[in-house]
């Protein structure tokens, strides 16, 4: 018990100490979070009318971010898997950082769920014994696998850190099985998210079995792309050194998952547009506009340009091996997939509506600010989690030892 | 229920009527909106839940009976899991709050499905003239939101207007490639059957319009409803007598059902519905037309407040050309059964295996 208290105090003391850069970063995130709180209050007193959503297009920016972030959470497995299944040395050193990212992403997903619901005050209706758990609903399953993933990563990540902190050996008897369960579970979360939207015959654009695999490939491109960026930032700003081998392996994973994602997208475009039935209207709206409405067309093509561009850059050794230039394709891939899988996938699913109604959706200021705030909150938590984890990995926080100040 | 034999347009019949099992709680002498919180608590104090709500109400520092009621509503069970006593309690609570809110005597019916009844609906698409009276009658009957801000206006029925002349002689060459000179097939460029948002909200000067045909749609009350399957809290479900309903007090507003519905039959209350006091219809049903709250989904329920009392839904009653028919599918003598037996009948989007109980026919 005393160890636990000292773990908590040491951890928070270490996290709280930081330079001007750290406080500026956290402060600006804090400002965005305050904005988020305000608009969240506004949305919950006025109703969803403050968003751009309508009865026609009732899933918007929130849902788009939600779907994307489940992918980021699942993407963390690209670190854990090579670390534990292939005993990759460089990855093993940083596996716990991947778990921290997964925790953060799932928390952000939960926040987007709260933002998305019309009545977030009634979410307890989903939780037995007070509420009803529905086994037939994909949303019910999604909630279950997401919470399971959160718990798994929390337990695995913090148990590892705890052992490092106290100096106890890791009990592999239950730790390793749990890690393997978490690896498979990562696939499940994104698969269920894909099922969430691909099991609706009323929305022809989503109604195909390619959705889960497309989700997994884009997740394993966007997630690691973000992780590479984070690793590069960690290398630059802390004493912690992420091995080149880890970043190189991640680059390989991003490259080929991105390649497969582009291939799958192209296959879909061909299948849909060759015959150009009315079921292709959603995709057609996304690519070229429909009935004179073209709001999403620039988004789609920018996503295509970003993804294809990133793929080409990743293939070039001068970019792949130069960690300064590597930032560019990583940012491109991350943004491209965010567009493609977020707004580019969710919104055209509703256009045209099942009765053939063509209408458009514009995120309102409230939606944008709330989404930004949740992202800020995510980075806020991520910074805290990563900083503490790095402190423990570096040995700067240790049970019984003097807590050293972070750089 | 035999709406076919006893249809009535007589407004005198619009008096609150309750099933015998529920009659006890419909006592008009029940404490009105002026009751103090103490009185209210006493009335509902038999159940431990009520005292919990009372505590919650005390915590809000409010003397208002409505506030206490709202607290109780927050923590009530899913309607289907309520015991008869709890249903009666919920009903009295609602009646009291609505009556004080709308300044008139509001009744909340809780009549359940009657044995031997399966409701069915048939629509003669040949007869529909596109007057949209059904839409307006539905809005009035079912207390839909009628605000002016976008998203505040809710209509459950759409009368889709289709251009006559879609298949005219001069359009028969459509799809032949221009310029190429070689036919490659599959070049039809115009997408079929599309309208811009709100184009079905037309108000023609005279009906029927010469160049139009009409296709009214609303909830199809499917036998295999996709919306029920996707609901994470089981708030929407099919009643034993057919209609798919929503427990508005249990809906979390996740809008999965809206995404799953192939008929676009559901609407989300983006904000608190705009329902003027004087226009509010005081004859309501718990699963039907009682006033909804912000952030929940709503839909057509074939006017449960009417149909369970042996009356026609408002849209059937108002249709000036008699295109809409309603009745008991289990009764071979009902109008709908006879239509299914004799007319040319089809269901919309039959390929999706939803098995609507809403049938289109022509003769």
The domains of chain B are located at 64-109, 119-156+219-362, 162-214
- Find which of B224, B234, B292 to mutate to test the A interface (most A CBs within 10 Å of its CB): B234
Which residue do the tokens 């499905």 mark?
B113
Instruction: Read off the pLDDT band of A374 (50, 70, 90).
Output: very high
Helices assigned H by DSSP within chain B:
37-44, 48-59, 65-74, 84-102, 133-141, 226-230, 256-260, 304-307, 314-318, 335-342
Instruction: Read off the pLDDT band of B223 (50, 70, 90).
Output: very high
Q: Are residues A118 and B260, on separate chains, in Cβ contact within 8 Å?
A: no
Bridge partners (DSSP) listed for residue B267? B298
The pLDDT of residue B130 is above 60: yes
A76 CA to chain B: closest CA distance, Å? 27
Q: Are residues A48 and B295, on separate chains, in Cβ contact within 8 Å?
A: yes
* Choice among B4-8, B50-54, B88-92 with the minimum mean pLDDT: B4-8
Which residue do the tokens 């921290």 mark?
A100
Of B151, B186, B252, the CB nearest to A125: B252
The count of residues in chain B is 363
A35 CA to chain B: closest CA distance, Å? 21
- How many degrees, rounded to 5, is the angle at CA A359 between CA B255 and CA B301? 40
Instruction: Read off the pLDDT band of A274 (50, 70, 90).
Output: confident
Q: What is the mean pLDDT of residues B50-72?
A: 58
Which residue do the tokens 């854990």 mark?
A80
Cα(A285)–Cα(A283) distance, integer angstroms: 5
Cα(A156)–Cα(A51) distance, integer angstroms: 38
Q: Are residues A134 and B233, on separate chains, in Cβ contact within 8 Å?
A: yes
Give pLDDT tens digits for B206-221.
Answer: 888 888 889 999 999 9
Of B152, B195, B258, the CB nearest to A58: B258
Q: Are residues A132 and B234, on separate chains, in Cβ contact within 8 Å?
A: yes
Predicted ipTM of the assembly: 0.88
Instruction: Read off the pLDDT band of B22 (50, 70, 90).
Output: very low
Q: Are residues A119 and B266, on separate chains, in Cβ contact within 8 Å?
A: no
Of A56, A121, A137, the CB nearest to B232: A137
pLDDT of res. B75: 86
Assigned CATH for B119-156+219-362? 3.30.70.20
Q: Do the beta carbons of residue B311 and residue B181 sit within 8 Å?
A: no
Give pLDDT tens digits for A118-159.
Answer: 999 999 999 888 888 989 999 999 999 999 999 999 999 999
Cα(B159)–Cα(B203) distance, integer angstroms: 11
Cα(B96)–Cα(B33) distance, integer angstroms: 6
Q: Are residues B264 and A354, on separate chains, in Cβ contact within 8 Å?
A: yes
Token pair of B15 as six digits: 């008096």
Q: Which residues of B touch A138 (CB under 8 A)?
A: 230, 256
Q: What is the mean pLDDT of residues A390-399?
A: 89
**Chain mean pLDDT for chain A:** 92
Token pair of A289 as six digits: 């506009």
Task: Give the chain A residue whose CA is nearest to the CA of B73.
Answer: A122
Give pLDDT tens digits for A337-373.
Answer: 999 998 899 999 998 899 888 889 999 999 999 999 9
Q: Which residues of B touch A132 (CB under 8 A)?
A: 78, 81, 233-234
* Choice among A177-186, B161-170, B270-279 with the minimum mean pLDDT: B161-170
Q: Which residues of B touch A201 (CB under 8 A)?
A: 226, 262, 352
pLDDT of res. B182: 66
A195 CA to chain B: closest CA distance, Å? 11
Instruction: Read off the pLDDT band of B159 (50, 70, 90).
Output: very high
Cα(A118)–Cα(B294) distance, integer angstroms: 8
Q: Are residues B229 and A357, on separate chains, in Cβ contact within 8 Å?
A: no
- C-alpha A184 chain-centroid distance: 17
Q: Which residues of B touch A114 (CB under 8 A)?
A: none
Q: Do the beta carbons of residue B258 and residue B246 sit within 8 Å?
A: no
B207 CA to chain A: closest CA distance, Å? 23
Work out the widest C-alpha separation in chain B, in whole angstroms.
86
Q: Are residues B250 and A122, on separate chains, in Cβ contact within 8 Å?
A: yes
Bridge partners (DSSP) listed for residue B159? B216
User: Cis peptide leading into A344, omega within 30 of 0?
Assistant: no
SS3 (DSSP) at B127: coil
Bridge partners (DSSP) listed for residue B109? B285
Cα(B65)–Cα(B43) distance, integer angstroms: 12
Q: Are residues A48 and B268, on separate chains, in Cβ contact within 8 Å?
A: yes
Give pLDDT tens digits for B321-358.
Answer: 999 999 999 999 999 999 999 999 999 999 999 999 99
Q: Which residues of B touch A47 (CB under 8 A)?
A: 269-272, 294-295
Of A47, A125, A136, the CB nearest to B294: A47
A144 CA to chain B: closest CA distance, Å? 11
Q: Are residues B252 and A118, on separate chains, in Cβ contact within 8 Å?
A: yes
A6 CA to chain B: closest CA distance, Å? 38
B263 CA to chain A: closest CA distance, Å? 6
Q: Are residues B295 and A119, on separate chains, in Cβ contact within 8 Å?
A: yes
* Residue A54 main-chain phi, psi, to 5 deg: -135, 180
SS (H, E, C) chain A: CHHHHHHHHHHHHHHHCCCHHHHHHHHHHHHHHHHHHHHHHHHHHHCHHHCCCCCCCCCCHHHHHHHHHHHHHHHCHHHHHHHHHCCCHHHHHHHHHHHHHHHHHHHHHHHHHHHHCCCHHHHHHHCCCCCCCCCCCHHHHHHHHHHHHHHHHHHHHHHHHHHHHHCCCCCHHHHHHHHHHHHHHHHHHHHHHHHHHHCCCCCCCCCCCCHHHHHHHHHHHHHHHHHHHHHHHHHHHCCCCCCHHHHHHHHHHHHHHHHHHHHHHHHHHHHHHHHCCHHHHHHHHHHHCECCECCCHHHHHHHHHHHHHHHHHHHCHHHHCCCCCCHHHHHHHHHHHHHHHCHHHHHHHHCCCCCCEECCCCCCHHHHHHHHHHHHHHHHHHHHHHHHHHHHHHCCCCCCCCCCCCC
A103 CA to chain B: closest CA distance, Å? 23
CATH H-level, domain A2-393: superfamily: Formate dehydrogenase/DMSO reductase domain (1.20.1630.10)
Q: Distance of CA A407 to CAs A16, A20, A206, A264, A308, Å?
A: 11, 10, 48, 44, 38
Q: Do the beta carbons of residue B219 and residue B121 sit within 8 Å?
A: no
Q: Which residues of B touch A134 (CB under 8 A)?
A: 231-234
- Find which of B191, B202, B349 to mutate to test the A interface (most A CBs within 10 Å of its CB): B191
SS3 (DSSP) at B108: strand
- According to the per-residue pLDDT averaged within each range, which of A390-404, B65-79, B327-341 is highest? B327-341
Of A49, A59, A132, the CB nearest to B259: A59
Q: Do the beta carbons of residue A59 and residue A115 sit within 8 Å?
A: no
A70 CA to chain B: closest CA distance, Å? 17
Task: Give the chain A residue whose CA is nearest to the CA of B262.
Answer: A202
Q: Which residues of A touch B227 (CB under 8 A)?
A: none
pLDDT of res. B185: 62
The pLDDT of residue B45 is above 60: no
Token pair of A340 as six digits: 């493609």
A122 CA to chain B: closest CA distance, Å? 6
Where are the domains positioned within chain A? 2-393
CB pairs A-B closer than 8 Å = 166
Q: How many CB atoms lie within 10 A of CB B225?
A: 23
* Residue B53 main-chain phi, psi, to 5 deg: -65, -35
Of B81, B197, B259, the CB nearest to A203: B259
- Find which of B199, B251, B264, B293 to mutate to test the A interface (most A CBs within 10 Å of its CB): B264
Token pair of B323 as six digits: 């295109």
Q: Distance of CA A319 to CAs A245, A252, A312, A315, Å?
A: 15, 12, 10, 8
């Amino acid at each position: 018990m005393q160890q636990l208290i000292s773990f908590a105090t040491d951890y928070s003391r270490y996290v709280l100490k930081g330079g001007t850069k750290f406080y500026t970063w956290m402060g600006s995130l804090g400002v965005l979070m305050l904005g988020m709180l305000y608009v969240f209050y506004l949305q919950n007193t006025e109703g969803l009318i403050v968003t751009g959503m309508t009865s026609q297009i009732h899933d918007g920016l929130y849902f788009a971010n939600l779907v994307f972030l489940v992918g980021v959470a699942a993407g963390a497995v690209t670190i854990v898997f090579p670390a534990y299944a292939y005993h990759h040395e460089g990855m093993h050193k940083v596996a716990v950082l991947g778990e921290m990212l997964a925790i953060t992403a799932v928390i952000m997903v939960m926040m987007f769920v709260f933002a998305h619901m019309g009545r977030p005050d009634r979410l307890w209706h989903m939780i037995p014994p007070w509420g009803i758990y529905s086994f037939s609903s994909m949303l019910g399953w999604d909630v279950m696998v997401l919470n399971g993933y959160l718990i798994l990563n929390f337990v695995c990540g913090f148990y590892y850190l705890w052992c490092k902190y106290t100096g106890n050996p890791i009990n592999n008897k239950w730790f390793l099985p749990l890690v393997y369960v978490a690896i498979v579970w990562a696939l499940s979360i994104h698969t269920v998210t894909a099922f969430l939207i691909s099991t609706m015959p009323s929305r022809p654009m989503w109604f195909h079995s390619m959705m889960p695999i497309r989700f997994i490939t884009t997740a394993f491109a966007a997630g690691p792309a973000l992780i590479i960026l984070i690793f590069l930032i960690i290398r630059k700003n802390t004493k912690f050194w992420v091995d080149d081998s880890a970043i190189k392996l991640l680059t390989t994973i991003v490259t080929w998952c991105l390649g497969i994602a582009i291939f799958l997208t192209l296959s879909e475009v061909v299948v849909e547009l060759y015959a150009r039935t009315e079921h292709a209207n959603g995709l057609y709206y996304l690519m070229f506009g429909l009935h004179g409405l073209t709001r999403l067309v620039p988004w789609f093509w920018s996503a295509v340009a970003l993804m294809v561009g990133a793929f080409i850059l990743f293939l070039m050794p001068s970019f792949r091996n130069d960690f300064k230039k590597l930032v560019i394709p990583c940012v491109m891939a991350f943004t491209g997939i965010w567009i493609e899988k977020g707004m580019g996938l969710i919104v055209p699913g509703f256009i045209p509506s099942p009765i053939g109604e063509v209408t458009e959706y514009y995120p309102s200021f409230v939606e944008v600010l709330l989404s930004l705030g949740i992202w800020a909150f995510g980075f806020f938590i991520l910074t805290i989690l990563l900083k503490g984890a790095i402190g423990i990995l570096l040995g700067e926080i240790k049970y019984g030892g003097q807590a050293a100040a972070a750089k | 229920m035999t709406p076919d034999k006893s249809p009535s347009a007589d407004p005198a019949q619009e008096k609150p009527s309750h099933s015998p099992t529920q009659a006890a709680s419909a006592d008009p002498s029940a404490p009105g909106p002026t009751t103090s919180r103490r009185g209210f608590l006493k009335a509902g104090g038999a159940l431990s839940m009520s005292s919990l709500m009372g505590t919650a109400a005390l915590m809000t520092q409010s003397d208002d009976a409505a506030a206490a009621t709202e607290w109780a509503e927050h923590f009530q069970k899913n309607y289907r899991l309520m015991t008869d006593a709890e249903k009666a309690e919920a009903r009295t609570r609602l009646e009291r709050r609505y009556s004080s809110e709308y300044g008139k005597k509001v009744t909340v019916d809780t009549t359940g499905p009657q044995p031997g009844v399966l409701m069915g609906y048939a629509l003669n698409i040949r007869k529909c003239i596109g007057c949209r009276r059904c839409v307006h009658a539905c809005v009035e009957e079912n207390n839909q939101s009628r605000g002016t801000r976008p998203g505040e206006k809710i209509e459950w029925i759409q009368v889709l207007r289709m251009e006559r002349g879609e298949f005219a002689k001069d359009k028969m060459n459509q799809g032949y490639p221009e310029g190429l000179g070689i036919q490659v097939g599959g070049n039809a460029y115009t997408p079929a059957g599309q309208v811009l948002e709100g184009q079905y909200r037309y108000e023609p000067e005279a009906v029927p319009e010469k160049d139009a045909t009409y296709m009214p749609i609303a909830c199809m009350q499917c036998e295999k409803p996709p919306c029920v399957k996707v609901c994470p809290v089981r708030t929407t479900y099919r009643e034993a007598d057919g209609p798919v309903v929503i427990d508005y007090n249990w809906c979390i507003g996740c809008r999965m059902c809206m995404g799953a519905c192939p008929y676009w039959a559901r609407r989300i209350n983006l904000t608190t519905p705009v329902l003027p006091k004087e226009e509010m219809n005081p004859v309501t049903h718990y699963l039907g037309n009682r006033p909804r709250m912000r952030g929940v989904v709503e839909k057509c329920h074939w006017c449960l407040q009417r149909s369970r009392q042996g009356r026609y839904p408002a849209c059937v009653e108002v249709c000036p050309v008699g295109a809409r028919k309603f009745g008991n599918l289990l009764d071979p003598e009902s109008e709908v059964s006879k239509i299914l037996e004799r007319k040319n009948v089809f269901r919309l989007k039959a390929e999706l295996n939803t098995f609507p109980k809403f049938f289109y026919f022509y003769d």
